[in-house]
Copies of this chain bind each other. A is one copy, B any other.
Amino acid sequence: MILGAYIYILFELNFAVTVNGFPCKDAMAVTAEDFLLRGLDKAGDTSNMLGFVVTPASVMQLPGLNTLGISLVRLDFATPLGLNPPHTHPRATELLVVIEGTLLVGFITTNNTLISTKLEKGDVFVFPKGLVHFQQNIGSVNAVAISALSSQNPGTQQVAQTLFGASPPVDASVLAKAFQIDANLVQLLQNKFKFS
């Protein structure tokens, strides 16, 4: 939630820190570089356990987005079954368009209803603000999507990693009771995330 990193980027660029609603660089000093990020055509490296990677274009990469309330990401899904696992964006709605491949996507409402569908190239899908959602490559080729997010700094929480991979770890009795599992299984799950 709290992103000190950007502060340093700002100073590095000689942005003057300033008040609410004012941009952080002298108008006379802005250049096209402040509004430009190259390379979203490059496939990210999906050689990980999920077969998935995200390449962001948010305010950390693109300082000109500050105060403007929007960002983009590129999503790469390996085959077979590359997965953007269930996660939330605490501060943003996501609007995804499939550039290549076939995705199974879904979000769960606060009524615990799964709203899910299969997307092909060119299909657009809405993941409303703050709700748990996922996307999985169910086609036979690598899949690529571009998503717009309604915040310059949307944040992401991958639910399984958040719960079982937090540091320090979430108390085992909390997880055991929440998932209706025993302490051994909690330990096993926490170990998986510790070493992944």
Give residues in A with beta carbon < 8 Å to B.
1-7, 10, 16-32, 35-42, 49-50, 57, 62, 64-72, 74, 81, 83, 85-86, 88-91, 93, 95, 97-99, 104, 106-117, 119-132, 134, 136, 146, 148-150, 152-153, 155-171, 173-175, 177-181, 185, 189, 192-193, 196
Contacts and interface: CB of A to CB of B under 8 A. Distances in A.
B35 A70 contact: no
A9 B120 CA distance: 25
A127 to B, nearest CB: 8
Contact of A108 (B6, B65, B110, B157): B157
How often does this chain occur in the complex, in copies? 6
Given A1-B27, A7-B16, A97-B40, A124 B72 contact: yes
Nearest to A87: B178
A90 B32 contact: no
B57 A97 contact: yes
Nearest to A90: B130
Q: Which of A30, A71, A177, A193 counts the most B-chain CB atoms under 10 A from its CB?
A: A177
5 contacts: A1-B131, A32-B115, A37-B123, A88-B130, A112-B165
A182 to B, nearest CB: 11
